[in-house]
Amino acid sequence: MKNIKIAIGIALVVLGFASCKDEKQEKAQKTVENYVIYVDSVKNVAAADLKDNWKSVEAEYDRRSQEAQAALADIKDNAAATEKVNASKIKYEEFRDEMTAQFAPPAPSPKQQLRDALFGAGKIGDDMSFSWVNAQNIHSVYQQFVHTVENNKDRYSREDWDEIKLMYEALDSRKNTVEKEGLSAEDNRKIAGLKVKFAPMYTVNRMGAKSEENKDAKK
């Protein structure tokens, strides 16, 4: 009788262990399925709706991805589950790359790229405002402008040179204002030297760019 009780007790423990094990596997399978469903559901959301919540989408994906990877260890024969997880991972990464490209701001126009190079990114926009140029920084602004032109003079087109001349004249106009706001004699002298350097460089290279365009047109 005693042996029967012991056998029954062992059987109950084994059954309980098996039940726990099955429950753990079932939970792991469900975690994997929820991960797959999440990836598929995100792909069905309109890009406009995703854009405002993209950080939350990414955070939720990372959480579910980590949980799914951990769940694989609790699945005895996990080959099929692993394949599902890997397929969804690839699917999401391709989708993320597509959305990242869509959400990225449009590339600046060639004109804006030139302005950014001459003055710094975002300093001069369509409003052509030079209000940020003052007595303390105007010399460095001229310096960057002239040195950038010097370093790239062989690559500029005639249209680029026309834009450079427009920007140069606008900067000169700002200098007239800045001179009344405490521009030092030393900075004024240094700027004069940069202007002397720029003038012949502009004239010669713009003529060369125009000549090259005329040659290309004849061809």
Q: What is the pLDDT of residues 131-169, one digit of tens each?
A: 999 999 999 999 999 999 999 999 999 999 999 999 999
Give the residue ranges of DSSP H helices in the chain. 2-43, 47-51, 54-71, 79-103, 110-119, 138-152, 158-178, 185-218
**Tokens standing for residue 120:** 């710094």
Instruction: Tell me the pLDDT band of 100, cut-offs 50, 70 and 90.
Output: confident
Nearest by Cα to 162 from 111, 214, 113: 111
Q: At 181, phi and psi to the nearest 5?
A: -115, 25
For residue 43, what are the domain limits?
A: 2-103
Integer angstrom CA distances of residue 156 from 10, 109, 219? 87, 15, 20
Q: Measure CA of the first residue to CA of the last residue in the chain; give whole Å.
A: 110
Q: Of 65, 85, 103, which closes a domain?
A: 103
Q: How many residues does the chain have?
A: 219
Higher pLDDT, 28 or 112: 112
Mean pLDDT for all residues in the chain: 85
Give SS3 for 109. coil
| 176 & 114 share domain | yes
- With tokens 């602004």, the residue in question is 141
| 99 & 114 share domain | no
Instruction: Tell me the pLDDT band of 214, cut-offs 50, 70 and 90.
Output: low
| 159 & 68 share domain | no
Residue 149: what residue type? V
| 88 & 180 share domain | no
DSSP 77: S
| 36 & 133 share domain | no
| 40 & 96 share domain | yes
- How many other CB atoms are there within 10 angstroms of residue 208's CB atom? 15
Q: Of 41, 68, 103, which closes a domain?
A: 103
Q: Of 83, 103, 123, which closes a domain?
A: 103
| 144 & 50 share domain | no
Whether the CA torsion 141, 146, 152, 157 is positive or negative: it is positive
Distance CA 33, CA 44 (A): 17
Higher pLDDT, 208 or 84: 84
For residue range 40-51, what is the model confidence (pLDDT) as tens digits?
988 888 888 888
- Region 100-118: mean pLDDT is 89
Q: Do the beta carbons of residue 80 and residue 36 sit within 8 Å?
A: no
Q: Do the beta carbons of residue 130 and residue 172 sit within 8 Å?
A: no
For residue range 161-200, what is the model confidence (pLDDT) as tens digits?
999 999 999 999 999 999 988 899 999 999 999 999 999 9
pTM summary value: 0.57
**Tokens standing for residue 25:** 């596997």
210 pLDDT above the threshold of 70: no
Q: What is the count of structural domains for the chain? A: 2
Q: Do the beta carbons of residue 156 and residue 126 sit within 8 Å?
A: no
